[in-house]
Structure 1
Amino acid sequence: MSYELREELPTPERFRELRAAAGMAERSREGVERGLPNSVYGVTIVEQSSGETVGMARIVGDGGSVYHICDMAVHPDHQRQGLGSRMMDAIMRYVEENAPESAYVNLMADVDGFYEQWGFEETRPASKGMFYRA
């Protein structure tokens, strides 16, 4: 199969489908429709023969001092082909070209050993991640 990386966001429907297929927590349709347009940057991976979006990743934040990489997902039928790495390369290229010096770039790592290749480090013991779900 042949894939194309695009600098665009998925549709709200495909966003929710990819999260579900990847085993990620569900997001409400209303939340996705509100949130996606507020992304700082996003990429998708499209399988060229079908035109189907099979991967996504995005950055949210204030576009200046804080950048949060999130919603990284590749459909299970298309995993293990380097698509996540292609998306992270694009995400990090954006950060390197656009984030001011000393901007804080973070993410929630759910794959051990993956994000370290782009220079990410665990915050423990200096800090701990926390969350609150509405």
Structure 2
Amino acid sequence: MTDIRVRFPVDDRELSALHAAAFGGAVEVQAWGARLERWALTWVGAFSNDRLVGFVQVCWDGGAHAFVLDTAVHPDHGRQGIGKRLVLAAADEAKAALCEWLHVDFEPHLTAFYLEACGFRPTDAGLLKLR
């Protein structure tokens, strides 16, 4: 069974390792806890036997708009509905904070996940690379 926990105490090494496993590459420990406390509306983790196996964060503008970022599920736990549960829990948290809109950007191979599984609708958007 996988437990979903909102605003859980973040272990920087554990979350960095999850990101490395989910997105590829070496583990580079990031200051996740400090970043989330400062910038995130909320974050949600999925835990299996108290081990972090999934994560998503929601940032916001302090008003109507919230943004899904960093959705990650450990490859050993993929295709079990964990990502969907994380995103829907994050959406519930944004709604409880009185946000009106929840935005997400994603790569084409994730279209079915976000649009069909999680209920987002397609919109036009723009992106400006700064560095």
- 1:20 maps to 20
1:47 partner letter: S
Task: Return structure 1 stretches of 4+ with deviation > 4 angstroms.
Answer: 24-28
- 1:122 maps to 122
CA distance in 2, matches of 1:17, 1:71: 13
User: Residues 44-80 of structure 1: CA distance to partner in whole angstroms, max 9, x if unpaired?
Assistant: 01102xx211111110123323211111100000111
Which TM-score applies when normalising by structure 1? 0.78
Q: Is the 8 A contact 1:56 1:74 kept in 2?
A: yes
Work out the percentage of aligned pairs sharing the same amino acid: 25
CA distance in 2, matches of 1:113, 1:27: 30
1:122 partner letter: P
1:1-134 to structure 2, matched below 5 A, reads 2-9=1-8, 10-23=10-23, 29-30=30-31, 32-38=32-38, 39-48=40-49, 51-100=50-99, 103-110=100-107, 111-117=110-116, 118-124=118-124, 127-133=125-131
CA distance in 2, matches of 1:99, 1:132: 30
Which TM-score applies when normalising by structure 2? 0.79
Which consecutive unaligned segments of at least 5 residues does structure 2 have? none
Which consecutive unaligned segments of at least 5 residues does structure 1 have? none
RMSD of aligned residue pairs (Cα, Å):
2.4
CA distance in 1, matches of 2:24, 2:70: 9
